[in-house]
């Protein structure tokens, strides 16, 4: 419900949903009456309110999504895959949602997640963990780091914009990912995952830049 550019974060996800062409149905899972009302004002469906037990600060995503699917299937509504769109990623595009869906349809992947490139200085072959002994250990488990930047293999990290998982992987495998995870690359220039006030300020800057470029 926090405002970004004078609009609630949820409105930006609603925009992306309208831009997408391959979603069969969209619902909002929330326990909050105010969020439910705001969702309906954006023409988003809120077919149930989530139990309070699944709306705590430390509630993982997996049981929330499983609850939504179980509720819909209890109403004889079945879907092949589930796409998770968190409002804290307001600058995603509808084309990214469709791109993930097409990737899932055209591959043997269990899931598809949006990803961004990792800067070379954060490549796993150059990242160390501090052990209990106080000494460092390469995150890859190798004894020596790769010496040249040019020799580093490409690395990506999930950006949280789109998660897409097959129904059986979620409900039978009890996983949001499965064993075969495919990555869909997104526009790093518009990437922001809002967890802090600083993230929100960064999103405001990106939004202003995007508006300026569109003029």
Q: Residue 100 burial by CB count (10 A; 0-12/13-18/19+): exposed, middle or buried?
A: buried
Spans in the chain with pLDDT lower than 50 = 215
Q: Please choose, from the candidates 94, 112, 96, the residue with its C-alpha nearest in 3D space to the C-alpha of residue 163.
A: 112
Examine residue 140 and state whether it is found in any structural domain, yes or no: no
Contact present, 125 and 138 (Cβ < 8 Å)? yes
pLDDT tens per residue, range 131-150 = 999 999 999 999 999 999 99
Examine residue 89 and state whether it is found in any structural domain, yes or no: yes
Domain around 113? 3-118+155-214
Examine residue 127 and state whether it is found in any structural domain, yes or no: no
Looking up residue 104, the CATH number of its domain turns out to be 3.90.550.10
| pLDDT at residue 112, as a whole number | 98
Examine residue 20 and state whether it is found in any structural domain, yes or no: yes
Examine residue 139 and state whether it is found in any structural domain, yes or no: no
Domains: count for the chain: 1
| DSSP string computed for 51-118 | PGGG-STT--HHHHHHHHHHHHHTTT---SEEEE--TT-TT--HHHHHHHHHHHHTS--SEEEEEEEP
Q: Please choose, from the candidates 65, 72, 66, the residue with its C-alpha nearest in 3D space to the C-alpha of residue 45.
A: 72
Contact present, 191 and 159 (Cβ < 8 Å)? yes
| pLDDT at residue 50, as a whole number | 96
The C-alpha atoms of residue 190 and residue 194 are separated, in whole angstroms, by: 12
Examine residue 83 and state whether it is found in any structural domain, yes or no: yes
Examine residue 29 and state whether it is found in any structural domain, yes or no: yes
Examine residue 143 and state whether it is found in any structural domain, yes or no: no
Contact present, 87 and 159 (Cβ < 8 Å)? no
The C-alpha atoms of residue 169 and residue 156 are separated, in whole angstroms, by: 23
The C-alpha atoms of residue 76 and residue 35 are separated, in whole angstroms, by: 26
| pLDDT at residue 208, as a whole number | 85
| Structure tokens belonging to residue 89 | 């990623």
| pLDDT at residue 113, as a whole number | 98
């Amino acid at each position: 419900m926090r405002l970004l550019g004078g609009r609630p974060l949820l409105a930006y996800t609603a925009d992306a949903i309208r831009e997408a062409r391959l979603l069969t149905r969209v619902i909002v899972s929330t326990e909050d009456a105010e969020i439910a009302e705001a969702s309906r004002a954006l023409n988003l469906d809120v077919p149930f309110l989530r139990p309070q037990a699944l709306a705590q600060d430390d509630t993982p995503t997996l049981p929330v999504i499983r609850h939504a699917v179980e509720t819909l299937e209890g109403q004889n509504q079945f879907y092949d895959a589930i796409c998770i769109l968190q409002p804290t990623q307001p600058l995603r595009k509808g084309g990214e949602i469709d791109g993930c869906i097409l990737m899932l349809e055209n591959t043997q992947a269990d899931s598809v997640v949006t990803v961004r490139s990792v800067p070379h200085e954060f490549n796993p072959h150059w990242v160390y963990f501090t052990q209990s002994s106080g000494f460092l250990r390469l995150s890859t488990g190798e004894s020596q780091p790769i010496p040249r930047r040019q020799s580093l293999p490409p690395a990506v990290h999930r950006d949280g914009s789109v998660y897409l998982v097959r129904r059986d992987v979620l409900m039978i495998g009890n996983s949001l990912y499965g064993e075969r995870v495919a990555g869909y690359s997104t526009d790093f220039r518009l990437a922001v995952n809002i967890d802090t006030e600083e993230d929100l300020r960064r999103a405001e800057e990106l939004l202003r830049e995007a508006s300026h470029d569109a003029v």
